[in-house]
Each structure stands twice: as structure tokens, then as C-alpha cells.
Structure 1
Amino acid sequence: MFARDIFRLIFLSLMVPLLAFVLSAPATAQSKPKPSAKVLRQGQKIFKENCQVCHQADAIGKPGVAPSLTNPEFLAISSDKFLERTIRDGRADTSMMPFAHLGRSKVRAVVAFLRSHEKLRYRAKEVDAQPDARGDARFGKTWYMNICSTCHGSDGNGYESEGAGTAIGLPGFLDKVSDGYIRETVKVGRSNTRMLPFKGPTALAALTDREIDDIIVYLRQAAKK
């Protein structure tokens, strides 16, 4: 009996600190410190100097020129990595030039400024963790041409084809986003823009999950040709 009690004490003395570490680690990893007022001011200044000419004041966007970067639905599903890569690398074959010359800290300051406009729950991690689309590109082409091409162009070139929507068919976009990101954008849309939802009771066109995946597969295959 005595030996069993000794073993239990030793076991607890080892496990309690380990358990405390395990429980505290996720909280530390998940708690992202808010940027300082100085960083936000810097981000706003850099945005005005480099981005406002196309994206307008407070990044509300301009139809046919540049999308809104402070749209609630956009910020909710856009990861910092996605935003930073887009600013750094730009979008080839569009008017969105690369801003790698700003350097990492300034790019992150711009992202922090954009994030300060968040209104919806941040869901980028769970959205990007969604499974890859499994659909039929042949059907996807039909849905795309009949529904999406009006705004995004028959080749997915968006504004470059005088469309009202962004260039969702170009590698510069598709290489940076997950299938979950595209899926959620199609389903939910973007409030106060021409990008209406395509799923649910208020949808412009009631697309099924399979039909949305068909479109995603089509876009990815077409971009490789």
C-alpha cells in the first residue's frame, strides 16, 4: 500500500506541471496581441501613400477598378498570410502591382490597418481547412459561363475584360487561395458589393455544394491551360 502511494505521488508530481504546460500553451499560441496604435497609424499612412489611389479611402474599393479590402465578409475569411502575399507579390496580368519593396514590417502594418475594420468573426483557419473541391470541370464551365462570366469575364480576367468583378480565373489569385475560400465567397457573397450570395434563400442563383465545387475545379483547370 505504501509503495502504491509513493508511486502515485511521484506520478502526480510529474504530470501536474506537464498538464499545466499543455493547458496554457494553446492559450498562448491563440492569443494574438493587438497591434499598437503606432502600427495602425503607420499602416494607414502606408495605405494612403500606396493603395488608396485604387482601393479608395478606408479601402472601400471602386467597382471596376479595385475591390474593397475592408468588406466584412472578405476580412472574415482572408488570412494574414493571404493578405501579405497579395500585397507583396501583387497579381500578375492585373493592375495590382507587387509591393515587395515595402518590406515585411510595413506590409504587416497595412494588414493590421485593414484588420482594424473587422466586424465579423475571423474564420480564415477553418475556411482554409475545408477539403479540396471535387467536381466536374465540364459542368463547372457551364455554371461559370452562365452565371459568373457576366462580372468576372469569360476568361476570368475580371476588370481587364471590362467586367465588374475581380480576376478570379488568373493564377495570381488562384495560387494564393484555398478551395474553401472560393467556396465561402460564392456561398456568402460580399455585402454592399455586386458579389451577391449564390446559396441560401437570398441567393442570386441557388447553387448546390456540388455545383460550386464544379466551378472551383473548372477555374483551377482552366488556369493551367
Structure 2
Amino acid sequence: MKKKRHLILPILLFGFLLSGCNQKTEEKSSASSSNATSSPAKPAGVPVNIDPALAKKGEELYNQNCVFCHQADAIGKPGFAPSLTNKEFLSVSSDKFLLGTIRDGRPGTGMPPFSHLGRSQVEAIVAFLRSHSNEADISALVDAQPDAHGDPRLGKLWFDQICSTCHGFDGDGYSAGSTGTAIGKAGFLNKVSDGFIRYTIVNGRSNTRMLGFKGPAAMANLTDSEIDDIITYLRSVPSKS
């Protein structure tokens, strides 16, 4: 009887220890799972106030100058012209960026300059575009993000494997027969911050072919450093018009 008691005690002790280990493993697994499924936090922006009369004027100007490429309601056409009313695009685009892009166009692409319209008419078009979204303006917060300091050699590998599928091997976009925009051209890179590019890679653009590339449900779960490698590579490519 004594012998049995001596055997039972070590068995019970081992059982308690094993139970504790399993609990810790489950807690760790649960924490890892929680971290993996959490999506990147969206910065809080400022509400956008739109003058209805200005937006109405902008709609008329849009239909006279922009609808041929960007389609009705600025929804765009894959492989031809991008959507200008996508909520992620509008929330991350500053007025300066939108005004400058309409005014100067995108050299090396099918987007011509519209400087002949004058500032007030371009502002009206911007108001019309913004009227399509009630998202807060986060452009100031996004543009204030630090510049990317990655490895351009690694960035080229990631770009060639992932981004070139839609944007072309040199980022030439539509002109190379690609479905994505010309993100490798100076006309785009000179007007956007690294934060703008970073936010777009992470979050993608809803209702377009541009999906997010960070997170377990993303097209490719890129790390922060890998995203910065891609941005650094884009910046390192010789400027193209």
C-alpha cells in the first residue's frame, strides 16, 4: 500500500506540471493568433468639408474634361485610367497632391496637364472628387511618416515578384500593357510621400485590383522592412518621364 502511495504522488505532480505547460502554450498560441489577425491601425484624420455648389461646378468640369478616360462618376477603367473616387485614395491624397496632378498631368502616361483650366476650376474638380467619399482626410498624418530607408536590392526582388504583375517590371503601368498605374515614373514619385506609398501597399484600394499586402489575409504578408525595401527601390530607379 505504501509503495502505491509513493507511485501516485509523482504521477499527480507530473500531471499538474503538464497541465501548466499546456495552459501556457495555449495562452501563447492564443496571443499569437490575436496578433496575426489584427489589422493595421488606421490613423485618425480630419473631416472633409465640401461646398455643394463648388462640387456641382466640378462635376460639370469633370464631364467636360475627365470623363473620357476616368469614366462616369470617376470610377476609372482597369488598364486605362485609375479610379479617382476610391475612398482609400481620397483619404490619403492631400489637396496639394490632387491639384498638382490635375494641373501638371503625369508625364510619360496618357494623363495630360490641365493647367489651362486655372486654379479655381481645378479646385472645383477636386471638390467633386471628394464629394464621393465621407472618409476623413489622413494625408497630413500619412505624409508625416518617416522616409523609407530600405535595401533597394531586396526591394527590386520583391517588386519583380509581386508588384510587377500589375505595374510592369519597370513600373511603367498602362503604357507597358499592365493593368496597374505607372508607379515607377517620376510624374508619380515626385508628387507622393513615402508614407503615401507605404499606406497604399499596406491597405490597398477597395473596389480595385490593388489589394493590401500586409496581414494574414493579404496577397503577400509583407513586413514593414520589406515594404520599405520596395519604396527605396522605386526611389532609386533612374527618373523616367
For the pair 1:156 / 2:171, whether they are aligned, the reply is: yes
For the pair 1:79 / 2:90, whether they are aligned, the reply is: no
CA contact (8 A) 1:157 1:167 kept: yes
Where do 1:1-225 residues align within 5 Å?
Answer: 34-224=49-239
Residues 155 and 31 (structure 1 numbering): CA distance in 2 closer, same or farther, change over 3 Å? closer
2-structure distance, mates of 1:33, 1:218: 33
Which TM-score applies when normalising by structure 2? Answer: 0.78
Q: Quote the sequence identity (%).
A: 61
**Is 32-41 or 201-210 further displaced after alignment?**
32-41
CA contact (8 A) 1:64 1:162 kept: yes
3-state secondary structure, aligned to 1:216: helix
2-structure distance, mates of 1:36, 1:192: 26
CA contact (8 A) 2:47 2:135 kept: no
3-state secondary structure, aligned to 1:224: coil
Q: CA deviation at 1:40?
A: 1.2
Where structure 2 has 5 or more consecutive residues not aligned to the other structure, the ranges are 1-44
Q: CA deviation at 1:148?
A: 0.3
2-structure distance, mates of 1:121, 1:40: 17
CA contact (8 A) 1:169 1:223 kept: no
1-structure distance, mates of 2:200, 2:236: 19
Which TM-score applies when normalising by structure 1? Answer: 0.84
Q: CA deviation at 1:192?
A: 1.1
Between 1 and 2, higher relative CO (CA 8 Å, sep ≥ 6) is seen in 2
3-state secondary structure, aligned to 2:237: helix
Deviations 1:134-192 (A, max 9, x none): 10000000000000001101111100001010000000000000000000000000011
Q: CA deviation at 1:201?
A: 2.4
- The number of residues matched between the two structures is 196
Where structure 1 has 5 or more consecutive residues not aligned to the other structure, the ranges are 1-29
